[in-house]
Amino acid sequence: MTSNSAFSFLGLPPPYSDFKKSKFVILPVPYEQTTTFKTGTKNGPQAIISASREVELFDEELEFEPHTIGIATLQDMEVTALGPEKMSQRIYQTAKKLVSQNKFVIMLGGEHSITYGLVKAYQKKYKDLTVLQLDAHADLRESYQDNKFSHACAMKRVWEICPVVGVGIRNLSEAEFRFVKQKKINLFYARDLQNYGTYYDEIVNSLSNNVFLTFDLDYFDPSIMPAVGTPEPGGLYWYETLELLKKVIQKKNLVGFDVVELSPLPGNVAPDFLAAKLIYKLISYQVAKQKKLLKN
């Protein structure tokens, strides 16, 4: 389980990319088996890592270089032709080892079905874990195309082991809608987040102390993130999203996160760069909190 510095996130050389010295670990999972519209999520992890090499290491908002805490990049997880349930188990076994070493795991997808395995590893350690889901879709189907571990069921499987709070939702089935009402799941619809400052406190207050973030990139509006499997109009934008993420990190203990569903577009690297910058921004806020540099 060593970092491949030749293809590391941000292009970091040793010692900043050394596994043993790094707090943060990038886990690329180029898995794609259940996508149902646009395909290409298997190419997401390497597109993000490639784009990240052009991200500036200095954070102008926080006024320091967060990468010095150490960010190791693991080799792509072998995915072969496993079904999503078996793939989830493989991810769980890998993630469990990383979590036991007190690593902050950042998983790059890949389709959204990969989330369950990493959440399960963290839930074993943090019994009060809540999953914060930034997403256009509820992903709360019981089954989709006869597959309970489809990407369309990702959060239903997660909900079975810990609470879920969904943000940016703007597409769900009638059955999912009824399920949300029946189980009183906290969903914050995109249409209600235009005056986002008011709702952000409510979102944060709905979370437990320990939080795992799963970030499906179709949460963003397609005007800034067209490279996803199912682009939904009416999404959120960059700075309002950073305000929410910063508030969550300030008030809660973010233990790990994933970024999923990037389907790179030939000739358009902007979405890849956005995803890479988002990941570094989350790392930056985490490090700034530790250094007591995170401003309100």
Considering just the CA atoms, what is the radius of gyration of the chain in Å? 17
Say which residue the tokens 């993000």 belong to. Answer: 48
Residue 293, pLDDT score: 86
Grade residue 5 by pLDDT with cuts at 50, 70 and 90.
low
- pLDDT tens, 10-28? 999 999 999 999 999 999 9
Residue 82 dihedral angles phi and psi, to the nearest 5°: -65, 145
Nearest by Cα to 144 from 113, 171, 117:
113
Rounded to an integer, what distance in angstroms lies between the CA atom of residue 242 and that of residue 254? 14
Give the pair of three-digit tokens for residue 264.
């790179």
Residue 32, pLDDT score: 83
Region for residue 234 given its phi and psi (left: phi exceeds 0; alpha: psi -120 to 50; beta: otherwise) = left
Note the Cα 259 to chain centre separation in Å.
Answer: 3
Question: Do 194 and 202 touch, CB atoms closer than 8 A?
Answer: no
34 has pLDDT over 80: no
Nearby residues of 292 by Cβ (< 8 Å), 6 or more positions away? none
Rounded to an integer, what distance in angstroms lies between the CA atom of residue 267 and that of residue 72? 28
Grade residue 194 by pLDDT with cuts at 50, 70 and 90.
confident
Grade residue 2 by pLDDT with cuts at 50, 70 and 90.
very low
Residue 198, pLDDT score: 75
- Between the alpha carbon of residue 252 and those of residues 59, 124, 208, 209, 295, the distances in Å are 22, 18, 8, 5, 15
Residue 296, pLDDT score: 64
64 has pLDDT over 90: yes
Name the amino acid, one letter, at 23.
K
CATH superfamily of 5-290: Ureohydrolase domain (3.40.800.10)
The mean per-residue pLDDT over the stretch 197-216 comes to: 94
- pLDDT tens, 111-133? 888 999 999 999 999 999 999 99
- pLDDT tens, 252-292? 999 999 999 999 999 999 999 999 999 999 999 999 999 98
DSSP per-residue string spanning 43-89: GHHHHHHHHHTTS-SSBTTTTB-GGGG-EEEBPPPP-TT--HHHHHH
Rounded to an integer, what distance in angstroms lies between the CA atom of residue 136 and that of residue 289? 28
Grade residue 1 by pLDDT with cuts at 50, 70 and 90.
very low
Pairing of strands 130-134, 210-216: parallel
The mean per-residue pLDDT over the stretch 180-185 comes to: 96
Rounded to an integer, what distance in angstroms lies between the CA atom of residue 96 and that of residue 88? 12
**Helices of type H across the chain:** 44-52, 84-100, 115-125, 154-159, 174-183, 196-205, 238-251, 270-290
Question: Do 236 and 221 touch, CB atoms closer than 8 A?
Answer: yes
Strands of 104-109's sheet in order across: 71-73, 24-29, 104-109, 253-260, 210-216, 130-134, 164-169, 186-189
3 has pLDDT over 60: no
Residue 147, pLDDT score: 58
In eight-state DSSP terms, residue 112 is G
Rounded to the nearest integer, the mean pLDDT of the chain is 92
